[in-house]
Structure 1
Amino acid sequence: MAQLDMTPGAQIPRTDVGPQTAATQALSSAAYRDGSFRDLADRLGATLKNGKFELFRPSVGEAFSRAVIDRTLPAKRLPLVPSFGTDVRMVVEHCLAAQELRHARDRQLSLVTLVCGLLFLPGTLIWLAAFQVRAVVKKSHPAREGFYGTLALLVACGLALLFAIRPPVTGAWSLYVRLMMVAPVVGWFIAKRICLRSTIELRSRWGGLLDGGVVAATVPKAVPRDDLDRKAADLRASLERLTAEQETNIQHYAGKKGLLGAGMRWVTVEMNEDLRPAAGHADFRTFHRWDLARKIAERLGGVGASEVPGGTMPHVSVQHWVVQDLPEGADEIGRPGTPEMDGYRMRDFGIQQIANRQTIGTDTDAYVAAQLVLHNGQVVATVMVKITILGRNLRVSAYGHALGPLNGLFTAKPKPKELKVPKTGKFWEEKTVILPLVDDDEVVRQAVRAPFMRIPGLLNWLGGSLALPEPFCVRQAWTDPTWARRAQADSVLYTAQPLFNVVQQTTIEFLADHDVDVERFTNRSNISRSENQAVRPFKADAYDAG
């Protein structure tokens, strides 16, 4: 039988993510995190779907991994918004790797649950009822959780003691009644060791990613064992499709949400004048919008060079984009299904056709985009250039967009679980007590979820799930405002100005080469630059942009 290519692929740690490492690794670390998935709502304002039983609630990592995998890998799904400054495939691979680690743990817990739980189901249900009460009280009345939670466990312990001393039946069944309250406790001790070992491993990967270490996302299920391993081949194809989709040049603008994947618009710089022939010419030489757009893109590609040592700009990525307009409330994006498309990208001649035709009154236009990934991937700055010609009027508009850093939840490193309590004999002072890494409630939560690991839909119904915003962008869904941090805001401002200058200077040179009178364009450019250097009182640390 012919063998397929056995290259490990996803098993090899991928470290060639360039300047976007920090954002990619921070998002990847979320797949390994512990804590209640309600932290996502408290910290991010994310939408959660509550389950039927609080005892089955997922952790942050479980909810995040399941939501991302279900949204990115199915063969039939809605298109994804490109995640600039992020290696989306690496994030998804870490979600798959974290899921596989938890499945290995759940297989062991399922065996413990079967032997010590299901065979002694009446006693197990009594113990589970006590922990369900604790979970419900902790969610609805956290201040009373200590009293009512302890009371529920005392009731269960009382029943266990009662059945052990005086079982309600005689004969062989009396032995079963005695064991049915004790066996779940024995299973709990075994399960705790399994859960602790798994938690330590997951936390080590969580911390390793945030420390900048090379943590491999091992996904053996993406490596086909032979040419009949259809499931692995489909998974590998889905990952490759994900990579290709991120390279699309079809973007979407959605009202106040701004350019999806690149953030809101924060500035507009324009040159707008009528085209007049230069002195000594009866008329200027005709040109197309694409000719000017191509010249601007060419010059933007070399903007990073500097004759001054240490003056080079970060790598600037320059592309021609087709931008489609969407209503602000749209929950889905689309891409043209025309012959001009090559997979997820529009061919150059298709973009050229859009650039050269009149697009006023349409929802699609061509732009030149220059993009920088700053602060180790935490900030994405984008300048988009639009060229409009109406009659003899030429308008060259440069728009600045900024996508802020990831929410602090994703950059928080694993810490010991602590609790401040009054000191003995000095109640007016507090001391810090280190809590167990895996407490009783967490052991029970993982143990009851384990048997349903192969039925994620049922687990979501039982315990709840994370609902992702649409249209979905892995990077933009979890960002904070750019302007909340001084250094990042300044970086966006400073890197945009050289790009604006190049656009204006290139436009003037291009028009001069085509016998256009550039005096008024030059004046507009000089006014724009002088306004940028003007001194006036303002609130330096307050921005209206999002």
Structure 2
Amino acid sequence: MSVGTEWDGPQVPVSGDGGEAATFALASAAYRDNGLEEIKKADNDWHQSTVKPGRKWATIFRPNLGEAFSRAVADRMLAPGRKPLIQSFGADPQVIVEHCLAANNIRRDRDNRLSLLMVACGLIFLPGLIGWLVVFQLRRFVARRDAKRAGWLASALLYGVGLLAALFLLKMPFHGFWAWYARAAVVAPVLGWFLARRICERTAKDLRARWDGLLSGSSVGAKVPEAVPRSPGETAAEQLRQSLARLSAEQQSNSVFYAGPKGILGMGTRWGAWQLAEDLVSADPTREIHPFRSWDVVRAIHDQLRMLERGPLNTGGFPRPSIRHWIVTPIGEKAAAVSRPEGTDVEAFQVKSHAIQDICNKQQFGSGDRHYLGVQWTLWDGQLVITMLITVTVLHETLRIEVTGHALGPVNPLFTAKPEAPTKEVTKSLKPWETRTVKLPLVPTDEVVRLAARAPLTWYPPLLNWLGGSLVLPEPFGLRHAWADQPWRHRFMADDALRAATPVLRVVHSAAMRVLEDNGVDTEKFGNRSSVLSGLVQDPTPRKADLYDA
């Protein structure tokens, strides 16, 4: 990110990057006003978020999905001294975080106005404010007790208290100054509610417009002016800028983590594996094999994979893939954190080339990191990430070339749902057998009260989280894989994942054969084994390759 005098929002992914749909779908969560419990519907089998409950008697302070999501994501990904993150393949995490910051700014402006309103109409008339808040808290409690009669009981409670308040105003038990103060304590919070409703509706329209714009492809920009320091003394802005730069650098890291049945975090579970393993025998019995290393085979495969986008027929075919060398670190299936490689062999989260070669040639058995050559496609606007990983090992006289397939599916439909205007079906008065749709206020009464009550406490988030609860993100955390579904329920996505295996496998075998022949190895057995694998790879059924039946 460059430092300038103006901030124009996040960098929109250019055509061909393939991450717009998934990125904007996840970013839209920052602007949503759904209930916080909705996030549980987006959890998958391996990564579950936790809704940390607040105090039972303070449900009026409970956050909605957008408030909790934007705060949790911004804190987790930008906090100083944070734990390492998992790369978000198929999405741009910086854009998502910037939208979370922008959503927080919009809500902060609203809360500032509501806080001033609470002081003018609430704090000065504190007894009346406390009384009305208790009424609304009881109303929320009643609404949760009985689903069938909740609406009627809650409304009856509010109307009953309103009637008592009107009688109190008419038959005032006090005289003089306290009589007028008591009347103001009853009326001022109600007047404040009407003003607060206008503020809340204006902000809600803005948030929903951004939510809809992101999912409609209108490229809504995130305004984060505090990310651009305008003077040397703005340490907070400089720290935020550095945090965003670190996030982008970590996204480009070539270090990933294998978590057992969860697969490689960020790439999805392993659905298929094909192995070519035969003895290294000299093609000429009178001569020895010319010495070569695993890296020589890997480098030849790397060069040949660059030709995947080319074919003999002009029929479309593969788009240009991303071909990278990966260092894979094993972690426990239930590990709550990861630790990235450090030392002189690592620079800006990137394992250097000479270290990659050493791992490829030497760390093939026992503990330690492993080397994989990966070819990756980001398809369906980032909703599908296909990764084929190749590893080459030599143990004694046996050369083994293994190709594994990984697939990361689309983000959960919760993130792709557009905002809908609140409505309700009611029975017609003259035709009770028919119903009609009635539009409801964008911000209902209880929501205005909730926002106004939370506003003064937003200056100290720990207290607000203690009272109302918060969202705890799944660890090890990465934005893309945490809420990804399996691609096998989508026919075309499944077809794309399965079709990629055969061309990659044959290119790998072809390149390996050429290296073996150049170094005097008898390739007859390798060729026979390759033909067998070419038949096995036609199997159209994805399997849970990481769940060993032992």
Shorter-normalised TM range: over 0.9
Identify the residue that residue 22 of structure 1 maps to in structure 2. Answer: 21
- Give the secondary-structure state (helix, strand or coil) at the position aligned to 1:142: coil
Native 8 Å contact 2:273 2:545 kept in 1: no
Residues 10, 95 of structure 2: 8 Å contact kept: no
What SS does the aligned partner of 1:251 have?
A: strand
What is the identity, as a one-letter code, of the residue corresponding to 2:98? E
Partner of 2:309: 304
Q: 1:155 to 1:126 in 2, by over 3 A?
A: farther
Q: 1:49 aligns with which of 48, 52, 56?
A: 52
Gaps of 5+ in 1: none
Residue 195 (structure 2) pairs with residue 196 (structure 1): no
SS at match of 1:333: coil
**Aligned letter for 2:27?**
S
Mapping of 1:266-345 within 5 angstroms? 266-279=271-284, 282-345=287-350
Look up the match of 2:438. Answer: 433
Cα distance in structure 1, aligned partners of 2:143 and 2:489: 33
> Residue 483 of structure 1 contacts residue 545 of structure 1 at CA under 8 Å; is this kept in 2?
no
Partner Cα separation in structure 2 for residue 281 and residue 135 of structure 1: 89
Structural mapping, 1:316-395, within 5 Å: 316-395=321-400
2:455 aligned with 1:450, yes or no? yes
Q: Distance in 1 between matches of 2:517 and 2:102?
A: 58
1:71 equivalent in alignment to 2:76: yes
Match of 2:528 in 1: 523
Distance (whole Å) between structure 2 residues aligned to residue 503 and residue 143 of structure 1: 63
2:246 pairs with 1:241: yes
Query: What is the distance in 2 between the residues matched to 1:7 and 1:545?
Result: 52
**Could you list the runs of 5+ residues in structure 2 that have no partner in the other structure?**
none
Shift of 1:12: 5.4
Deviation digits for residues 252-306 of structure 1 (CA, Å, limit 9, x no counterpart): 0001111000010000011011111114652211111111111112211221122
Matches of residues 50-199 of structure 1 in structure 2 within 5 Å?
50-52=53-55, 53-199=58-204
Amino acid in structure 2 at the alignment position of 1:245: E
Cα shift at 1:448: 0.9
SS at match of 2:253: coil
Aligned partner of 1:490 in structure 2 is 495
CA contact (8 A) 1:79 1:334 kept: yes
C-alpha contact (below 8 Å) 1:262/1:403 kept by paired residues: yes
1:478 aligns with 2:483: yes
Which AA in structure 1 matches 2:49? A
Preserved contact between residue 272 and residue 544 of structure 2 (Cα < 8 Å): no
- Please say if residues 137 and 144 of structure 1, whose CA atoms lie closer than 8 Å, have aligned partners that are also in contact: no
Cα drift, residue 182 of structure 1 = 1.0
Structure 2 length-normalised TM:
0.94
Contact 1:10–1:222 under 8 Å retained in 2: no
Distance of 1:138 and 1:491 partners within structure 2: 48
Is 1:38 aligned to 2:37, yes or no?
Answer: yes
Give the Cα separation in 2 of the matches to 1:422 and 1:409: 30
Please point out which of 249, 256, 259 is paired with 1:251: 256
| One-letter amino acid matched to 2:52 | K
Tell me how far apart the structure 1 counterparts of residues 538 and 501 of structure 2 sit (CA, whole Å).
14
Task: Determine helix, strand or coil for the equivalent of 2:179.
Answer: helix
CA contact (8 A) 1:372 1:381 kept: yes
Secondary structure at the counterpart of residue 66 of structure 1: helix
Report the Cα offset of residue 543 of structure 1: 6.6
Measured against aligned partners, the alpha-carbon deviations of 1:172-200 in whole angstroms (never above 9, x if no partner) come to 11011111111111111111111111111
The alignment partner of 2:111 has SS state of: helix
Question: For the residues of structure 2 that align with 1:515 and 1:8, how far apart are their CA atoms?
Answer: 63
Give, as a single letter, the amino acid of the residue that structure 2 aligns with 1:523.
Answer: N
Which amino acid in structure 2 is aligned with residue 11 of structure 1? Answer: G
Q: CA deviation at 1:208?
A: 0.6
Contact 1:15 1:214 in 2 (8 A): no
Which of 221, 224, 230 is residue 229 of structure 2 equivalent to? 224
Tell me by how many angstroms 1:341 deviates: 0.6
- Identity fraction in percent: 43
Partner SS for 2:411: coil
In the other structure, the counterpart of 2:514 is: 509
Q: Residues 264 and 15 from structure 1, CA distance in 2 versus in 1: closer, same or farther, beyond 3 angstroms?
A: closer
2-structure distance, mates of 1:462, 1:533: 57
CA spacing shift, 1:50–1:324, aligned 2, 3 Å = same
Alpha-carbon separation, structure 1, partners of 2:286 and 2:430: 97
> How far 1:362 sits from its partner (Å)?
1.2
**Contact 2:103 / 2:207 at 8 angstroms: preserved in 1?**
yes
Rate the CA distance shift 1:281–1:154 in 2: closer, same or farther, 3 A.
farther
- 2:512 partner amino acid: T
RMSD: 1.9
- Which of 72-81 and 271-280 deviates more? 271-280
1:415-444 alpha-carbon deviations (Å, 9 max, x no partner): 111222333344444332221111101111
> Amino acid of the residue matched to residue 133 of structure 1?
L
1:460 corresponding residue in structure 2:
465
Whichever residue aligns with residue 30 of structure 2, its letter is A
Is contact 2:30–2:69 with CA below 8 Å preserved after alignment?
A: yes
Change over 3 Å in CA distance of 1:43–1:153 after alignment to 2: farther
Which has the larger displacement, 324-333 or 132-141? Answer: 132-141
How many residues align? The count is 538
Cα distance in 2 for partners of 1:144, 1:239 equals: 49
How many angstroms apart in 2 are the aligned matches of 1:499 and 1:116? 68
Q: State the distance in 1 between where 2:333 and 2:148 align.
A: 41
Q: Relative to structure 1, is the Cα distance of residues 274 and 7 closer, same or farther in structure 2, using a 3 angstrom cutoff?
A: farther
1:356–1:14 distance in 2 versus 1, CA, 3 Å: same
Which residue type is aligned with residue 64 of structure 2? S
1:178 counterpart SS class: helix
Q: Distance in 2 between matches of 1:342 and 1:275?
A: 37
Q: Name 2:269's counterpart in structure 1.
A: 264
- Shifted more, 430-439 versus 258-267: the winner is 430-439
Q: Distance in 2 between matches of 1:499 and 1:140?
A: 58
Note if 1:214 corresponds to 2:222: no
Letter in 2 for 1:286: P
CA distance in 2: counterparts of 1:517 and 1:12, whole angstroms: 55
Q: Which amino acid aligns with 1:317?
A: S
Does the Cα contact within 8 Å between 2:271 and 2:543 map onto a contact in 1? Answer: no
Change (3 A) 1:371 1:131: same
CA distance 1:281–1:31, shift in 2 (3 Å): farther
One-letter code of the match for 1:47?
Answer: T
CA contact (8 A) 2:11 2:95 kept: no
SS state at 1:303 partner = coil
| Aligned CA distance change for structure 1 residues 432 and 216 (closer, same or farther; 3 Å) | same
**Contact persistence 1:281–1:515 (CA under 8 A):** no
Pair 1:11 & 2:12 matched: no
Distance 2:463 2:518 in 1: 68
